[in-house]
């Protein structure tokens, strides 16, 4: 049989095929917009041609000390220019970027450095104490490059970041991936139990999710993006790469405060920012003297925990335009979006917030998103009540867990990535998270969503933050116990809040206890419910 002509002499060659890599976005930004702002940090302001030069020097300097393809380069830095540059400079020599959460303790940092086999660690001296303690425990510590910015921690390495850049060649030829499946970064999950797992991203996924952030959030060219989301979190949800693709400005800062956010909006005309609900809380609770209602809309993307409707509402009242996304480290950050429909505009404020607090639908570049029964792997009905596990498939799902074949296989069982998050599917095909599998409260055989209770508590005017966990109960098996932080000067009592809940929810769902306390959080702002379980009151 003759060969099909579509299979004849129509193959890949240098002219018609290139491995996808977000590095190409930096090159284009610097070619097309060489003198436009790329990164702003305090008094410093870089242009795209400078950012490309600095990233190229970084790649070259790393290359000169023997770093290349599939070598790990770790970084521990706040949202400052070197952190942005690392997202291009490290891959530009073929290496893999391992951003380490700056809030981790020395033991965990040591675990990550050892497990990732990092050959180089670029570390801001703010974290010297932690880093020194971590390095002390390692047999093969990485080469350390210190970032001496405004902090005055100890120098641990032999060279400072800016000096190191000077050793690099500005004309260094990038080592772009031969295969877009090559690793670009390694991000350790902030597990609440057990050792963190190393999630490996490839150039292809980074490229595609960078574009999908733009199309999904309807971003025009030259956004002025404020870094409130830590770049160490899923590579800043791929936004360092998105911003290069559309020549946006990164407004950097070492730390995030409500006043700082309003200040940046005032001075830099910020157009976009991302953040967990903790950031929204900062904004809403900013001192009246520093807070103001915006005179143009600032777009905010929020994720991490389902934002309670009252918080979404308060943000909109201040003039922020909220978009709710959902994803995991394993899905390059956001992979699900509560795509807004104009027909919802006419609904009441509360209904709108309720609609928006749902997780939503798949990103344009995510192939499939489903809520499946994890046993039968069948989709749950679109009834808004049947709970299943959220599963993903597509090009923005990780390569796998680094050096962890068992967990990788478990995560990909049945051809889907298992998120571990439970959700229902609403009749309109928007999914709504009910809980992490392990956070469901089972009381008298009924599943109770901790999130539903938390949302009810958040609606109380005195409540600043709330988290609900299961408390063992002789009669019911479990009952909900609420941990609550009140706003300053607020007075609500345990009884007040229980009554508030009983007025609004089925009684079996109401917390039987309310404990007033600060909520322990992971470094990415998620409430650490396992800690709360350790603090359960004796009933």
CB 287 within 8 A of CB 312: no
Identity of the residue, 172 or 241, whose beta carbon is nearer to a second copy in the bound complex? 241
Compare residues 4 and 293 and give the one whose CB is closer to a second copy: 4
Which position among 1, 14, 288, 289 is part of the footprint of a second copy (CB under 8 A)?
Answer: 14
Min separation Cβ 358 and a second copy, Å: 13
Of positions 248, 258, 308, 400, contacts a second copy by CB under 8 A: 400
DSSP-derived secondary structure letter, 289? T
Under rule CB under 8 A, residue 495 binds a second copy:
no
Instruction: Give the long-range contacts of residues 381-384, CB within 8 A, separation 24 or more.
Output: 381/425, 382/425, 382/426, 382/427, 382/428, 382/429, 383/424, 383/425, 383/427, 384/424, 384/425, 384/426, 384/427, 384/432
- The nearest distance, CB 10 to a second copy, in angstroms, is 4
List own/partner pairs for 155-159 with CB under 8 A and 24 or more apart: 155/125, 155/128, 156/123, 156/125, 156/128, 156/131, 156/132, 157/121, 157/123
Binding residues for a second copy restricted to 90-109, rule: CB under 8 A: 96
Residues between 115 and 154 that touch a second copy (CB under 8 A): 117
Residues 6 or more apart from 160 whose CB is under 8 A from it?
A: 145, 146, 147, 148
**What crossing angle do the helices spanning 309-318 and 349-356 adopt, rounded to 10°?**
110
> Which CB, 194 or 415, lies closer to a second copy?
415
Q: Which residue, chain included where needed, has tokens 């959030």?
A: 217
Q: How far apart are CA 67 and CA 73, in angstroms?
A: 8
Cβ at position 233, least distance to a second copy in Å: 20
Residue 467's region, left for phi above 0, alpha for psi from -120 to 50, else beta, is beta
Q: Which is nearer to a second copy, 117 or 263 (CB)?
A: 117
Binding of a second copy by 403 (CB under 8 A): yes
| Position 28 contacts a second copy (CB under 8 A) | yes
Stretch that binds a second copy, among 30-38, 53-61, 81-89, 524-532 (CB under 8 A): 30-38
Burial class of 332 by CB neighbour count within 10 A (0 to 12, 13 to 18, 19+): buried
Among 319, 384, 394, 520, binds a second copy (CB under 8 A): 394
Pick the stretch among 40-48, 209-217, 255-263, 503-511 that binds a second copy (CB under 8 A): 209-217
193 near a second copy, rule: CB under 8 A: no
Q: Is 24 in the site for a second copy (CB under 8 A)?
A: yes
Contacts of 357 (CB under 8 A, 6+ apart): 306, 307, 308, 309, 312, 324, 338, 432, 455
218 near a second copy, rule: CB under 8 A:
yes
For residue 464, report the phi and psi dihedrals to the nearest 5 degrees: -90, -50
| Window of 51-59, 153-161, 258-266, 410-418 that interacts with a second copy by CB under 8 A | 410-418
Judge contact between 469 and 481, C-beta under 8 A: yes
- How many residues make contact with a second copy (CB under 8 A)? 65
Note whether 155 and 125 are within 8 A (CB).
Answer: yes
Comparison of 96 and 276: residue with beta carbon closer to a second copy: 96
Three-state DSSP state, 28: helix
Nearer to a second copy, 11 or 537 (CB): 11
Among 158, 173, 221, 347, binds a second copy (CB under 8 A): 221
Q: Judged by CB under 8 A, which of 17, 475, 495, 507 binds a second copy?
A: 17
Partners of 396 in beta bridges = none
Supply the minimum distance, in Å, between the C-beta of residue 438 and a second copy: 22
Stretch touching a second copy by CB under 8 A, among 150-158, 220-228, 431-439, 492-500: 220-228
In the bound state with a second copy, the residue whose beta carbon lies nearer, of 262 and 326, is 326
The verdict on 336 binding a second copy (CB under 8 A) reads: no
Q: Would you say 90 or 147 has its CB closer to a second copy?
A: 90
- Structure token pair of residue 345: 């505009």
DSSP letter (8 states) at residue 347: S
Is 45 a residue that touches a second copy (CB under 8 A)?
A: no
Burial of 319 (0-12, 13-18, 19+ CB in 10 A): middle
Give residues 153-192 in contact with a second copy (rule: CB under 8 A): 181-183
Instruction: Write the binding mask 345 to 384 for a second copy: x where contact by CB under 8 A, - elsewhere.
Output: ----------------xx-xx-x-----------------
Q: What is the separation of C-alpha 441 from the centre of its chain, rounded to a whole number of angstroms?
A: 26
Centroid of chain to Cα 258:
19
Among the residue ranges 265-273, 394-402, 449-457, 499-507, the one whose residues contact a second copy (CB under 8 A): 394-402
Q: How far is CA 340 from the centre of its chain?
A: 21
Tell me if 16 contacts a second copy by CB under 8 A.
yes
Q: Which is nearer to a second copy, 5 or 461 (CB)?
A: 5
CA–CA distance, 529 with 441 (Å, rounded to integer): 12
CA-CA-CA-CA torsion for 163, 164, 167, 169, nearest 10 degrees? Answer: -120
When binding is defined by CB under 8 A, the residue of 18, 151, 158, 195 that contacts a second copy is 18
Give contact residues for a second copy (rule: CB under 8 A).
4-18, 20, 24-25, 28, 31-34, 70, 96, 117, 181-183, 200, 211, 214-215, 218, 220-222, 245-246, 339, 341-342, 361-362, 364-365, 367, 392-395, 397-400, 402-403, 405, 408, 411-412, 415-417, 429
């Amino acid at each position: 049989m003759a060969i099909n002509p579509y299979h004849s002499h129509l193959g890949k060659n240098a002219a018609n095929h290139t491995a996808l890599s977000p590095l190409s976005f930096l090159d284009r930004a610097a070619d097309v917009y060489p003198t436009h702002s790329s990164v702003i940090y305090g008094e410093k302001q870089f242009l795209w041609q400078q950012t490309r030069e600095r990233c190229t020097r970084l790649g070259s300097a790393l290359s000169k000390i023997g770093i290349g393809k599939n070598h790990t380069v770790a970084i521990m830095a706040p949202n400052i220019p070197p952190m942005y540059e690392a997202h291009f400079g490290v891959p530009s020599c073929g290496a893999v970027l391992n951003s380490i959460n700056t809030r981790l303790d020395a033991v965990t940092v040591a675990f990550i450095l050892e497990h990732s086999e990092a050959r180089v660690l670029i570390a801001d001296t703010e974290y010297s104490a932690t880093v020194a303690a971590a390095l002390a425990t390692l047999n093969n510590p990485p080469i350390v490059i210190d970032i001496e910015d405004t902090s005055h921690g100890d120098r641990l390495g032999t060279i400072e970041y800016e000096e190191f850049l000077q050793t690099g060649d500005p004309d260094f030829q990038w080592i772009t991936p031969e295969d877009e499946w090559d690793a670009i970064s390694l991000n350790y999950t902030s597990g609440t139990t057990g050792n963190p797992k190393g999630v490996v991203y490839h150039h292809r996924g980074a490229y595609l999710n960078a574009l999908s952030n733009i199309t999904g959030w309807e971003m025009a060219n030259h956004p002025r993006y404020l870094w409130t989301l830590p770049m160490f979190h899923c590579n800043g949800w791929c936004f360092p790469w998105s911003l290069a693709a559309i020549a946006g400005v990164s407004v950097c800062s070492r730390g995030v405060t409500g006043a700082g956010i309003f200040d940046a909006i005032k001075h830099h005309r910020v157009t976009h920012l991302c953040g967990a609900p903790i950031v929204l809380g900062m904004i809403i609770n900013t001192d009246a003297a520093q807070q103001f209602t915006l005179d143009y809309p600032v777009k905010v993307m929020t994720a991490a925990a389902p934002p309670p409707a009252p918080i979404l509402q308060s943000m909109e009242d201040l003039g922020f335009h909220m978009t709710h996304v959902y994803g995991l480290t394993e899905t390059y950050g956001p992979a699900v979006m509560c795509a807004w429909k104009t027909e919802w505009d006419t609904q009441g404020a509360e209904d709108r917030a309720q609609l928006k607090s749902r997780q939503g639908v798949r990103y344009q570049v995510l192939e499939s998103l489903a809520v499946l029964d994890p046993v039968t792997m069948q989709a749950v009905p679109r009834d808004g009540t049947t709970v299943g596990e959220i599963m993903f498939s597509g090009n923005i799902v990780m390569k796998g867990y680094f050096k962890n074949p068992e967990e990788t296989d478990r995560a990909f069982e049945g051809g889907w990535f298992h998120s571990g998050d439970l959700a229902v599917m609403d009749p309109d095909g928007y999914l709504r998270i009910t809980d992490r599998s392990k956070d469901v409260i089972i009381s008298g055989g009924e599943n109770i969503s901790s999130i539903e209770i938390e949302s009810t508590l958040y609606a109380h005017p005195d409540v600043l933050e709330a988290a609900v966990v299961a408390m063992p109960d002789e009669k019911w098996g479990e009952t909900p116990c609420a941990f609550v932080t009140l706003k300053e000067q607020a007075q609500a009592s345990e009884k007040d809040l229980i009554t508030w809940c009983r007025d609004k929810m089925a009684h079996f769902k109401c917390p039987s206890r309310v404990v007033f306390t600060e909520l322990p959080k992971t470094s990415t702002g998620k409430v650490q419910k396992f800690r709360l379980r350790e603090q359960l009151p004796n009933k």
